[in-house]
A and B are shown apart, each in its own frame.
Chain A
Amino acid sequence: SSGSGDPAPAGSASASASGDGSYTIGVANFMLSGPYFSGMDKAIAAQAKKKGNVEIISTDANGDAAKLASNVEDLLSKNVDAVIISGGPLESAPAALNAIKAAGKPVVLVDRKFQTGEYTSWIGPDNEAIGKQDGEFLAEKLPDGGKVAIIKGGPADNSIGLARTNGVKSVLSAKPSFTLVEAPDFGNWGSDGGLSVMESLLASNADLKAVFCENDAMCLGAQRAIADAKKTKQIIIAGVDGQAEALKAILDGTNYAVTGLNDADIIGSQGLDRAVDILKGTKVEKDTVVPSPRVTKENASQYYDPNGAF
């Protein structure tokens, strides 16, 4: 492999440099401290293991954009063949992309497509489509309309959340029978935040029919708040991601009605495949949208894996 011991100068190591067909691929995670992101990291590693000839060096920037840039520089100084960036909530990383470009290495973005900068390929979900899908489901489920609450994640992941919320809104606000209530406070993408935001929502909106959260973790908290308020029969829940606990709740036929699968396993493993394909010189698509199937009680068993990474 062209590992750290390889004296080959940066830039000269192209796909063909690793004559034995083995590769070292660096993974730059923006933050691992969310189950979705660590799930992705694991999926990449698992897929590499499956392939057998790919070594993975994974780094975590702990949510610090500058650290991501220097982690990428660290990876490049270890002479990796390609870099996969799991940018999480980061909107862009010009410095990292520039460094990779300067080193002449390919870079594959997983999940997050950066707003600016040059990359080789991207694999991820269409967040607005997921939101739309949830909105359409709610419209089907609630033919008489009603009040629907929206719980947003907040700062750390804004444009993703925005896309999801806009998706839901674009469907429901077109139907006059629906009223949308946006929680003023953020759920911060966690179950505890989802819980307390939902509690506040319930205090001032007793007549909610449904709640949409920008991710499943918040929905799980919201579900508890609804249960505590004894409104399980009245309010249905729509989330995004496909977190194991959410899938289980859907499968069990609770008021958790729907989620849009944003499968970290699939995106991660396809991301690694994509990087290897590029290194092998295969012609690849630039942008690939991974479909995000709508998961409801009917099809949940198909996706629920109690031992899955995420």
Chain B
Amino acid sequence: MILELRGVRKDYAGVQVLHGVDLVGRRGEVLAVVGANGAGKSTLIKILAGAQPMSEGEMRMDGERVEMRSPHDAHARGIRTVYQEMSLVPGLSVTENLLMGGFPRRRGGLIDWPAAHARARELLESIGFGAIDPRTIAGRLSVARQQMVEIAKALVDEPRVLVLDEPSAVLAGTDLEALFALIRRLRDRGVLVVYVSHRLAEVLELADSIVVIKDGRVIGSTEPSRTSENELIGLMAGRRLEQIYPARRADRGEPALHVSGLSRGGEFEDVSFTLHAGEIVGLFGLVGSGRSELALCVFGAEPASAGEVRVAGGPGGFRTPGQAIAAGLALVTEDRKGSGLVLGMTVADNIMLATLRATTRGPLIDFGRRRRKVAEMVERLDIRPAHCASMTTLHLSGGNQQKAVLAKWLLTGPRVLILDEPTRGVDMATRVEIYRMIDDLAREGLSVLLISSDLTEVLGATDRVLVMNQGRITGEARSDAVTEDEVLTYAIGRTA
């Protein structure tokens, strides 16, 4: 089986996003598609999946031209897709989400629920996700589990082509290994797997061939054996990146934030740590270890059941985010769409959201000053496109959305910046920029807490790392004096 795209073009309201993309995939192959944020990967995938019509070009399967007018057409041809954006129905059970397209029925046409649950369980087990109870309401699962359900959903009836758009972004540890094993098994069974990811190490490990997309064009295709991470980054970014993580000098200053004995029933227990000015501290843990809850609690967005948060030489015990912000805290949450942005508003509106009262003249917002501030941030963080200020945030690519969130918080002039998975779904080049920005901020005296499930990142970009396991801090180490294995051991909870 061969899947071919020829000269695919796509524009959104006149803005050209894909400029004639060619792509060939064969059965039993893992075809990786890489590219910077906004390069057009997701758009390409939506076209493959029938979720978006192409403006021009053609698609062939086995040499035969196919028309894809709806996701239904794609399903019928055995193309199954896992989208970048989560797309489960949160209120329904895992079983329903999995079998939505076709339930087992009894005579009379009614759904046979016991059979449905059994089938869902069987499916989850067969692909190594047996830990998920199919009766659970999908919205109550952790993000990682939801992602696994999402993948399982694509495998309900043997696909011929499986398209995965950044499936690993929210996975770590054993979950990630399970996913890789699954992909390899599918490939060996003759499935074509189209794989999009910003984690290049992963791509090199998994892919049979790699296609690099830049600004809506294919600018190269290669094989893992013939390239390197650095070369790929260079291709994607259009320039060479010398170094991913800036060299850190651990010149930590005065204490900036004290967290002592902080607990919140069921989520985390007795968490204590201190952040210092000029310091970047990583907080590593497996997905679901309670880090995000902790961050929200420190930020005053959720009440603690015990313990205290205090800004050094300042107030503590924040009961609202407003108080925390006033004291110099800023929080970039892990869920851009859900709690980072107002997607329907302009980028300028979003960037100014936390500092609405800072640009007023009298009771009114001073639009001139506001425009200047926004332009400054857009330039400083290189948010693209450059004229994005008046664009609806929804239309920005994921990485640029993330930068807009960051811009919003930098404008508050924080002393302590908490970043929860800030590089999830962000391309390598942009990551490097983000690391450099974090580094710059720390040099200016900010203290940064970097929450991440990416071990390499946690060790590479920070001075010190805290490890969390099941709601407790189980380890602490200097980042340059600890190995990945040691950190993992703390995170999993086994003593080495």
Q: Do chains A and B touch in the complex (CB under 8 A)?
A: no
User: Which residues of B pack against A, CB within 8 Å?
Assistant: none
User: Which residues of A pack against B, CB within 8 Å?
Assistant: none
